[in-house]
Chain A
């Protein structure tokens, strides 16, 4: 009588004692250049080795330029530190220029390192992405990174459990992104605090692994520690044959074990939410947190329509920051830039969805448009399909892999006052660069918006 996440948790308890959190074993530790240098420095100062370098994978993604320019000096120092730390501590690292380099949450599933039933941590809040394959995966801080490097374990208080069940067929032009934006609009940015969200129901089952990754990725935007989907035939078919997936007899044994992870029929969740997928529409965020969204058919809301003081203040602040007027139809909002990328929406399926809209079309004159594949492998696969030509001919820049314009810490930033339709995960003030204004959307809506110059659906285009 346990839920999926509880079963994984129980299988990883190294030590349990009254009055203490559990000490959990970590099956995979993903590392990137930005949140790890102080952790390696701590190990050096205490003369501690990395306990299991064979369970650690590093890459460079946050800070790296995604075109042929060189990183400025301070970023270069951090990139060099990652390479040096990996060498010194015996950790495999995919540096820039490597055919396996990419956004940490894109590369690990792609090579089959992310598998059902595993515990995975990374110094990045979007580690929840890996839950799409039935792994229990969550983001940690730098002190915890140091702890995991030294011990391969982590102290954790047991989270609560939350079931979000989405049933029904997704309406036309709705994507996985709209499922998660719809969920966050409903439960709020703190709706999942202290819990692991298990996504269930026919809509989730019908999503591809890539779509499930988009959903699990933004669990943190609902405040959850992690998001997870029970491994099923879709998961096994996706994983089989990838470089790190078990083979032959081990594969058979693993699949049996993975099937048994599903939440028991009589298990109870601390909280349950049910959503009817047939009521969803493509979403566009208007505000400065990911719950401040409406569907593309709606208007920018009036802050006075919020009954709660905090929400009303926050909506007024957001409209001021975003330079929007209450009552404006979403389709009337013009954008200056479009960004297709990030650990939320930069996998092959996302690029195909955007490419489909852009084929034979051109972006609005004067608009800046970037497409940044999630990994060098995604880039290569997309080029094999000719997607690079579709994007280039439409007026997009076709980049190398990295976090790019998701977070404003590499050369790709918005200028103050610029407005961007973005497939990323956060619309916080200044997230894409100081003074920049972000609207979160799906890849197809981002592409249609690039063509129209204002928010649009593919079906709005002539």
Chain B
């Protein structure tokens, strides 16, 4: 996983609440066996509407998505993060995230920025007024800035370190192999083993 210290770029004002992962990437895309190649599936149904914000040329090349609360709810599909990443996004700013989406984002070096709802609205307003507005997400300092708008966001220390260092979780965990083996030695004997 590549480390991520900072995301800076223009933003897409999606501004909808409860965006579910079926909208982010419809299920027929989940038949693929790869981790990449999902860009064309991003918001596939909504994109059929020419007035959908992702079709607005003024926002082409945006790397930050601005959304309403409970972003990424529903299915556990990591493909939702892959699709956003493949389409050039590096961070989503929203008042809240669904739990599994948040874990999936962090596992891919994709930044879930949980920001006060009023600040998210200010950012949406600013980007609608001027699509060239640059938003800077600083992972190290846990801050967001765009022109005169500035705020800090919640990100626990461990998640922050993982993003900054681009850690491979599995390699990290395998360092605790002795602890895992010790735990395994004392598991209750009635626990089932698949035959």
Task: Please list the residues of chain A having a beta carbon within 8 angstroms of any beta carbon in chain B.
Answer: 14-15, 19-21, 23, 25, 27-28, 34-35, 37-38, 41, 46, 48, 51, 53-57, 62-63, 74-75, 77-78, 81, 91-92, 112-113, 115, 118, 123-125, 139-144, 146-147, 150-153, 155, 157, 159, 189-190, 193-194, 220, 223, 225, 244, 246, 250-251, 253-254, 257, 289, 310-311, 313-314, 317, 407-409, 426, 428-431, 434-435
Contact = CB atoms under 8 A, between A and B. Distances in A.
B76 A35 contact: yes
A430 B26 contact: yes
B110 to A, nearest CB: 11
Contact of A409 (B30, B33, B157): B30
Residue among B35, B99, B103 with most chain A CB within 10 A: B99
A310 B68 contact: yes
B129 interface: no
Contacts of A250: 189-190
B33 A431 contact: no
Contacts of A251: 190
B156 A408 contact: no
Nearest to A28: B192
Contact of B158 (A19, A48, A57): A19
B22 A426 contact: yes
Interface stretch (B6-14, B143-151, B169-177): B169-177
Contacts of A46: 170
A146 B187 contact: no
A223 B31 contact: no
B132 interface: no
Contacts of B73: 189-190, 223, 289
A147 B179 contact: no
B159 to A, nearest CB: 9
Residue among B16, B194, B195 with most chain A CB within 10 A: B194
B93 to A, nearest CB: 16
B170 A55 contact: no
Given A63-B31, A254-B188, A431-B22, A139 B96 contact: no
Contacts of A53: 194
A408 B76 contact: no
Residue among A37, A63, A151, A314 with most chain B CB within 10 A: A151
A121 B156 CA distance: 23
Contact of B27 (A91, A220, A407, A435): A407
Interface in B69-85: 69-70, 73-79, 81
Given A151-B180, A244-B192, A250-B190, A429 B23 contact: yes
A409 B158 contact: no
A75 B173 CA distance: 33
A15 B75 CA distance: 29
Contacts of B20: 289, 426, 428
B152 interface: no
B16 to A, nearest CB: 8
A311 B75 CA distance: 21
Contacts of B133: none
Q: Top 10 nearest A-B pairs by Cβ distance?
A: A143-B107, A246-B190, A409-B27, A141-B104, A141-B78, A139-B76, A190-B70, A142-B78, A244-B192, A54-B193
Contacts of A81: 33
A268 to B, nearest CB: 22
Given A150-B170, A314-B18, A430-B22, A125 B156 contact: no
